[in-house]
Amino acid sequence: MSGRFGAAILGCAGPVLTPEERAFFQKANPFGFILFARNIDTGDQTRALCADLRESVGWDAPIFLDQEGGRVQRLRPPLATDWPAPLDHVRALGDNAAQGMALRFQITALEMRAVGIDANCAPMLDVARDSTHPFLRNRCYGTTPDRVIAIGRAVADGLMAGGVLPVIKHMPGHGLAQMDSHLELPRIDADVQTLDAVDFAPFRAFADLPMGMTAHLVYSALDPDPATISPKMMSLIRDDIGFGGLIMTDDISMQALSGTVAERGAASLAAGCDFVLHCNGDLEEMRALMDRVGQADAAAQARAKAAIAARRAPEEVDIESLKHKLGALPLKPADD
């Protein structure tokens, strides 16, 4: 690893790393990188981009992707399988959902690894409601904590079997949101008992995983500030939920948060996040952010190194054999 990490995970503007980006990343030394559809064309191009990103920081830095399936899937055919939305797939598999989703995400992991990507922003542990905003609802795994825990564990296990690190999200629970936090700040007015019993519960079952992502939400019964920049909510994630892994923000450029990107990033670290996730690839925004946040603190550095230590080689298995196993599972639709 190349020195102390800058306190961020960053994106780039296009499918090829520019000289300006390369020089900036070398100086900033972010903990990792995140790719989007704008960065992905062919398999050879994506592998070359991943190699160039890692070369810019001088070590095998993690490269993240949102590869949930359905609408949120950055790798598309022919580079990856075109999956249905998670909630639809879980419902179709019914009693076989855990086994099926483990296979699906092992396949997903192998497809990601094939182009150089080794961390997935999944499983999503938000508990769906009838009122959950459409941008989120069919990305969920179920409408009860027990169902979400069972499927979430299968997703995490499948990713790890395929050599990809999972990132649980959106801590401490996005399921009650009725707004899209990419565009505005959702406010959750549920009482503490409901939040604790339903929304926070799945995250307690995943305290062993190495990385998690915050939610840009206000939980009004607990704090008037969004969780990402709330010391109280970050303490709840650490102390009540018991999550000891690396915590990254959701995309700091989302419009749920006010102030400049640099101000948002500084506030999230002050609240207790370890790393700021910046996704849009805007070089000037990233420069301003890194000028403000600098290097991660000692605790964040230790959590980052623990996350890297959790990486493992994929199990030796053929994707087609996994797809055959998944296709052979009987469909037994069941209520979630």
Q: pLDDT digits over 81-109, tens only?
A: 999 999 999 999 999 999 999 999 999 99
Q: Is 70 exceeded by the pLDDT of residue 49?
A: yes
Structure confidence at residue 183 as a pLDDT band (50, 70, 90): low
- Exposure letters 265-281 (e unless 16+ CB within 10 A, then b): bbbbbebbbbbbbbbbb
Length of the chain: 336
Give yes or no: 130 in active site: no
Residues near 239 by beta carbon (within 8 Å), at least 6 away in sequence: none
Mean pLDDT of 168-188: 80
Alpha carbon distance 143, 151 (integer Å) = 11
User: Which amino acid, one-letter code, is at 255?
Assistant: Q
Structure confidence at residue 247 as a pLDDT band (50, 70, 90): very high
Cβ contact 259:267 at 8 Å = yes
Residue in 250, 251, 274, 278 annotated catalytic: 250
Statement: the pTM of the whole predicted model exceeds 0.85: yes
Alpha carbon distance 160, 262 (integer Å) = 33
Q: What are phi and psi of 276, to 5 degrees?
A: -95, 125
Structure confidence at residue 135 as a pLDDT band (50, 70, 90): confident
- The predicted pLDDT at position 136 comes to 84
- The predicted pLDDT at position 67 comes to 98
- In the chain, which ranges are E strands? 6-10, 30-34, 63-65, 67-69, 72-73, 119-120, 165-166, 168-171, 187-188, 211-214, 218-219, 246-248, 276-278
Alpha carbon distance 24, 54 (integer Å) = 13
Cβ contact 44:16 at 8 Å = no
Give yes or no: 182 in active site: yes
Q: Is 70 exceeded by the pLDDT of residue 336?
A: no
259 sits in the region (left: phi over 0; alpha: psi -120 to 50; else beta) called left
- The predicted pLDDT at position 308 comes to 97
Structure confidence at residue 2 as a pLDDT band (50, 70, 90): low
Cβ contact 244:206 at 8 Å = no
Mean pLDDT of 31-58: 98
CATH topology for the 6-41+60-266+281-327 domain: TIM Barrel (3.20.20)
Structure confidence at residue 254 as a pLDDT band (50, 70, 90): confident
Residue in 82, 88, 182, 297 annotated catalytic: 182
